[in-house]
Structure 1
């Protein structure tokens, strides 16, 4: 019964084990012996160990014989080649046994499969060699030091070198680096503090080498008895890092600081942005007030430019190309700034975009200069047009008057008939009046061009409209005209009052003068505040103008488009000059036999900055 129980337990053992006799023949074995050692033959009882393992090294055979003779225990780690050709690491535990009563002897053999363990050790060793990471230890109780082979290689020491703590500290470069390692070791011993530092080591061969030292202590009864850790050669990596840092600092001085350029990076996946110091200055924000997210960046962009920026970035990612965008930002103090940014896309190896890297700079001054130049060119162009107009008047109109007067005076000197002389005198008088009228018109134009800026002042738009309307009320009543005024009473503009009266008077009288005989005149007057200007609309339902035919010469001098006897073609010319002299502009929309709408733009006053429409303050006036 005992033998049966023993055999059962032996077979079901959790270890791969076997018993052999003094001739190395198998007497018994566990199931795991066959399984772990990859033995295909399940009937090995009676066969010798060397029949089952024909490639057993001589060294193992010697151990077998030694254990048989002396009944001692020995162990040996060996690699064996299995039937499928694979390698297996086995830790052989061999123990001799002898039973004197039956004169039996043999071996108890345990074969532990340590293949996985050995592979992990090899992998760790390879990693240490590739990463140049070694281990070290100082035992204060035994007063001994241990350095791994890799640690000795980093120090350029022979592998049999004996190290102690004092010698170990002396390898560090004298000064800052030796002081640093001495300080952290003392803190570890006295206060049990771990460390992780980068310092310069002077090797046994006198070479400088950057190393990373990581250490911690083992404490027993509140006393440090051992310090240990890892030691890594980071010389190449550190020198590249320092070199890149030096180049980066030079580049920063040469580009970003000098040129006021900011560098940024945007991580597409976590939506985080990284800015350098210059970029915070460019955007007018501080680090503590900026959340470093794409949403925080978009919040600074002018509302009208956000969609444009978003679309440009998306397009650049899709097309995989560099991109340059210009947009406006609003500083926390409300100041508007113009920005230009250039960026490129970085991608993973599979082509998926990972981040945007770019540079940004403030172009406000350049934009302002560009706008000033544009305005100057526009003014120059307008002045040139005015000069051309004047040249046309002088060369054509005045010459016509001169020729007419010369001809009439010639006739007068030669004419003897008194009736004819009287007729010529009347014609001469009419010609003189016409010449005087032309000169007066030219004087008005010159007056508008030269005397507007100094007379600009705050003017209430509604009051000016009502004043002009009252002056021509009789004319409106005669035509049974309806005048609808929808202008907020609080709107003030910057204007020359006399010019504004002249402009309004011309618009009113033109609406009456060129009203349609088919319907009663209706005049609609509106105004609204937008940004820093006031948009003024003056519309009627009169005869209208064919703009395709006459649009380019609508505001020309002495240009008429209807057959009214009192049309002189000077009113709109003067009106355009007057409104432009006040830094405004005038546009027109018109359809024949439908009506005309003049759209004027005035500069608003500061009071209109915070203007809010209030129906109670609005006046709606209707006159018939």
Structure 2
């Protein structure tokens, strides 16, 4: 092509491109701009920039390698078309564009560069996103608006409700109403009559209706609904009604609330205590309410359209206001309009002003200044809402004075107060709190961690758990813990706090106080030590009968933790039937407090946490304290004494019963005559004597001494009685009537439990094998006794030279069920003692506990069940006892 023609062609193309209404750019082979349209400049925000001759990639450094590769393909003859794609600009913004990139040619087959035709579709994408968002909102609104459909077939009287209509009526989804039952859901009276007339007009005349009426649901709830209906006609006759149904209860309630709010707003606007003043954009007052008239002494007619706010404000006040607003927004206060600045920023200002009344007197107010704009956002004036704070200022002055007194009181009582903003973690301490913690008041940047760093290492977990529970429960009980100062000294502080929450219940602040109670704590610990060292349960109450303190013995006796009883009425520890009388006795005691026993010989009972009665003795002692008179109650559990008394009485009753029975069965007891005369009559006489002494005892020391005697006599007597009773029962009762299926493992485990102390003491090794015979039909009591006697003897008569080993096994021999118990103990000389092995009171070793009863009783029991017992033994080797059960 001729060079001149080529250049002329290029020039013409440039002119066409520059005037093109769309975004077009022409680039050479090196991707440098030859021409761009005005729309290109506008779309890509290049106004005022030099573009022609510059590289496309310099202009758009954000272009990635993928696009560059596509451009190279286009320079080789390819065409790149894209309907939409995001283009991330260097400033981080996203621009949506479409493009058509293709080569332009110098001559056939020779590419001169690229033509880029693009379009900015960002507004379209934004509209598309907005439309999608609106559709989502509409869909959600439809679901949340609780709108349902309904239909009435007038030919069949069938009513069809959508799920939401059924839900509004409070009935199941499968509920099938008719027209009459549907009408009865409307509230009787105006609402039901209104809907009845509307339905009749729709059926007769085809009149559609749109009503707001009240409904009573199946659950009995009353709510407002909107019902819209219209008739469908065939040949001039209404055959069906269709419509929609909506729950508008919240809307109606909101309308009521709005009406109430409007009334309240009207009341505020006409308030006599709040001045509401508005001005136009020039500053001239155009509204002056009754409250402003009362506060400032001017009438509305004197102010509206005539004066500006400077009639009741001073120049100094307005200059201060101007400087503050200018500083806030980093402006020069000279030639600066603070009201206009607030209006442009859609901000408002709240501060204290000093107003001047018509009579020249001044008074402090709190004023809120804000701009008034029309619907187009244009400034049309300013609003000033002010209230007289003279009383509040007086209160603040008084509060300041009280704070000074409080600081003085804090110094005297070693108390410091604090505030903790939990959202920002900012902490404020009073001056005295700095002193308590040994910190300089100039230390800034206090946080919760500052306080926590002082907590004694041993108390950190306790404090952390306490604070966490405080946040969780929105309550902060008093906490006593130690702190360790920077010099290593330790103090005890009492921490109290109040938890502040916002409207949604989130903890936003804690305020409280700390008191140095180190000296009090030392005294308390000393007193607590004395209290805990007391052998009895101690309960200390005040004049109101509230529990002040208890010791560990009291916790153990009554089953409560100390914190469960603190501050509770002492009657919580007294049975219900005695509580009323105790209150009267308590009042009488505080009228004349002195140290004395409680109850005057009467039986006294306490009640523990589980409701069980406890027999007790109580001693009362008054304590004079700064808080008034406290009463210390020493409480002793006398359950064991009562049980001992009952045992004595029971033993006496048993003796009388058995004595009578022995007289009746004298013939059968010939073999036991010597035992009866020696082992029974003497202890009975001894017991009767002891009982007489016990009844005549004058103090606790004598009773304790007599109880020790009782224990020895009762022990021997019980052993003899049990022997007699069991022997008699064995000979005279049909023991086979109490047969049951007994598992040997269970009997063995029970025996080991009973003999556990002796097993541990001797280190005995016990092995057993019940695999050949695991259970048997037998008298359980007898089998318990057999195991206990045979294994107990094996432990009792162990060899001192070796660890006792006992082996028990069951099985079947010659068709008979058998039990064998073998040991490695002292053994028995059967040649010498075999004939009396199972005799009563026959002993073969000098053991202090040997009575000669166990084997006798075992033989009697085995034979009573139709069995037999035999023994094989060798001195210093061991013994084996074999029981044939049948």
Same fold judged by TM-score > 0.5?
no
| Higher relative contact order (Cα pairs below 8 Å, separated by 6+ residues) | 1
Please give the TM-score of this superposition, normalised by the length of structure 1: 0.35
